[in-house]
Amino acid sequence: MNKMKPSISHCLTLGYFLMFFYCGCTSVKFLESDCHPHTWDKLILVHHWPVTVCKMIMNDCDDPPQYWTIHGLWPDKGEDCNRTWHFNVNEIEDLLPDMRQYWPDILHSSLNRTRFWKHEWEKHGTCAATIEPLNSQKKYFGKALDLYHKVDLNSYLLKVGIKPGHTYYQMSAIKEALTSFYGVTPKIQCIPPEEDEDVQTIGQIEFCFTKELELRNCTHSKTNFFLMQNNLQFRHEELSICNDTLTSYPLEV
């Protein structure tokens, strides 16, 4: 029986190791992947169609932009990873002209314009900041803008003749066009058809990136569920993965 018990020296050694490991993990601003409770695998650059946003939740939503804008840059797991790292608009002062144009708060344009960005940083940015290219507020918002311009979704859709208006599109054709051009499969979300109708409304398109910020396929998994619950308070039963059916791409609310 005594042979099965670890020696006192062994226990002490193990204890010192665990103490060192714990202190080492907590001594840095962000923990490494082995000891961080909010590890993530991919980044999701989320575009939303402002007209559909306004259609979903009528609020202070006058004259929405008629081009795809940024909803957010989200790690696929974790949120609010560092509650002490608060948003400071002064750190992104030189980005503000682009932020206002490409990352506007669609629903609250007449209120505090920084509230949306504050939410995105504190909920998602503090998790994305575990990698060096995104480890400051300026890097996080600046890189999101860079990726948005790299994808250039608005220009590509126009190039292939997919334009907002009264024309309906087959979702399968939109998916095929995007996959063919970008070489990866994005995730496209719609408002499902209303009762007695057979036309869904496109609302959101997500492009996924590796930690090296290279495009990769988006996959649908349970870990993405929390991403549907975010700052715009979309009701997840209203915005879901699009079906391969007729799709509206509205020009007006």
Residues catalogued as catalytic: 71, 120, 124
d(CA 200, CA 192): 5
DSSP string, 134-197: GSSHHHHHHHHHHHHHHH-HHHHHHHTT--SSS-EEEHHHHHHHHHHHHSS--EEEEEPPPTT-
d(CA 200, CA 70): 21
d(CA 92, CA 141): 8
Which of 213, 208, 240 lies closest to 225, judged by CA? 240
**Hey, what are 227's tokens?**
């991403």
Do 245 and 199 form a contact (C-beta atoms < 8 A)?
yes
First to last CA, the chain: 77
Ramachandran region, residue 3 (left: φ > 0; alpha: ψ -120 to 50; beta: rest): alpha
Do 193 and 242 form a contact (C-beta atoms < 8 A)?
no
Residue 32: which residues within 8 A CB-CB, separation 6 or more?
A: 25
